[in-house]
Amino acid sequence: MDIKEKLRAPVLMKFKEFLRDVPDQPGVYIFKDESGKVLYVGKASSLRNRVRSYFQRSKDHGPRIGALVNNIRDMDWIPTATEADALLYESNLIKEYQPKYNVDLRDSKTYPLIKISMSEEFPRVMIARGKKSDGSLYFGPYTDAGLLREAVKAIRKIFMFRTCASLPKKACVYDDLGLCSAPCEGKISREEYAERIREVILFIEGKKGELIKKLTEKMKRCAGEEKFEEAAEARNQIEALSTAVHKRSGIGPAGPGELAEVLGLKKVPARIEAFDISNIKGEEACGSMVTFKDGRPEKSKYRMFKIREVEGQDDYAMMREVVRRRYTGSLKDKLSKPDLVIIDGGRGHLSAAAQEIRAAGLKDVPVIGIAKVFEHIYTLGRDLPIALPPSSKALQLIQRIRDESHRFAIRYHHILRRKALIGEKRTKKVRKCKSR
């Protein structure tokens, strides 16, 4: 074994230990050197297979990849819903970090770009080769044209922007397919369409957490103004985005240990439960509880709650009901006591939940809240929230668990909403038959 192999042996052992945690799903992987500087960013259809391939002794790497592997001392990965989604992340991260071993993508002028024609009244989103001084916004470049087409199709399904070369006089088939918001027929105003394009930009830039917050505020505002179709559309967009949002996981601390240190807990929280509420102006209100053990989801312990006791839109009362049913009902004996409870919300939601948890006799279980606006952490008995940097693995773990509870709540709300609509249609049909 030469000197380089001797130096890398402990690092290889470290990677072998953590490679077991790399998920078998699409995503982006990030290799770093000893100082934490990003060396390389890549995408993969299977993170596990791709990352492991770098550390197989029998693998015959070329000089460039061999040099990269010799310098890797740490790594992060970001799981995504699809490889096309990973493509967008890869480009943004390369632009942000300018990694040494991503020379081809940084220097190439031949890879495809995403173009948004901002000079048009209703901008189009399309794939282009090369930038022009035409007032358009350009994103990229991207390494795979086929995956980029898939990514743009996925974005179009969520945001329904136009792609036609010239605005027609009447809506085309894409309106019927739910792929265009039909500005040609005035189905969407210029201002609303511009807002939709801003949302597309956030998506392309990888700011999905910020985008979900924005859409959540829009959903609640539209519901308050009794614009229920727009509120439902925003809810559907949130649901689509929530399935694709994943927080970064890395080879460093898994998270629970750092979380105990940040929160000043007496022991590492091995079992964590998180709660969220979902409703539109009090309609089809429901709550969710997700469970994580040792930093990983334990889906068999997830629970859904249909709100039974609260009339109208009172999120605090709904949170109290859900938490009370978890810790005083039949679930109290069926599920183990958590080491930490996370509430999706700020000071008010935290106080409401904590009252019920303490009333249930769980006086030693820590309870925290995470507010969506600034991602601040609220704790009991502390006036000011805890503000953690985005790079904090403790914050990333809290966000990941909160996002999962949010996704699960929205999913159940969507099920209840669909059942209610089916029931309304059946009732109308029966009334129509009787009237005959």
| Residue-level pLDDT at 143 | 79
> What value does the mean pLDDT take over residues 330-355?
93
Q: Determine the average pLDDT of the residues in 406-423.
A: 83
For range 201-212, the mean pLDDT: 81
- Residue 355 has a pLDDT of 96
CB-based burial label for 27 (10 Å; 0-12, 13-18, 19+): buried
The per-residue pLDDT for 435 is 58
Per-residue pLDDT at 298:
92
The two structure tokens encoding residue 15: 């990677």
What is the predicted pLDDT for the residue at 149?
Answer: 87
Which of 189-198, 199-208, 407-416 holds the top average pLDDT? Answer: 189-198
Q: How confident is the model at residue 426 (pLDDT cuts 50, 70, 90)?
A: low
**pLDDT score, position 251:** 40
pLDDT attached to residue 321? 96
Decide if pLDDT at 220 tops 60: yes
Helical H runs in 167-207?
Answer: 173-176, 190-204
Average pLDDT, the chain: 82
pLDDT at position 106 is 55
Q: Is the pLDDT of residue 340 over 90?
A: yes
More confident residue, 273 or 204: 273
Joined tokens for residue 181: 């918001």
What domains appear along the chain, each with residue ranges and CATH number?
3-106 (3.40.1440.10), 109-190 (no CATH), 249-420 (3.30.420.340)
Q: Above 80 in pLDDT, residue 250?
A: no
* φ and ψ of 360, to 5 deg: -80, 0
Mean pLDDT across 314-321: 94
Spatial distance between the Cα atoms of 396 and 375, rounded to a whole number of angstroms: 10
Lowest model confidence (mean pLDDT) among 23-32, 76-85, 263-272, 352-361: 76-85
Mean pLDDT of 26-53: 88
Q: Which long-range contacts (CB under 8 A, 24 or more apart) does 361-365 make?
A: 362/327, 362/337, 365/337, 365/338, 365/339, 365/340, 365/341
State mean pLDDT over 270-290: 90
Quote the pTM value: 0.50
The amino acid sitting at 424 is E
Question: For residues 166 and 154, what is the distance between their CA atoms, to the nearest angstrom?
Answer: 22
The sign one gets for the Cα dihedral 102, 108, 114, 116 is positive
C-alpha dihedral over 304, 306, 307, 311, to 10 degrees?
Answer: 150
CA distance 432 to 426: 10
List, as own/partner pairs, every contact residues 12-17 make where C-beta atoms lie below 8 angstroms and the sequence separation is at least 24, other chains included. 12/55, 14/251, 15/55, 15/72, 15/75, 15/251, 16/55
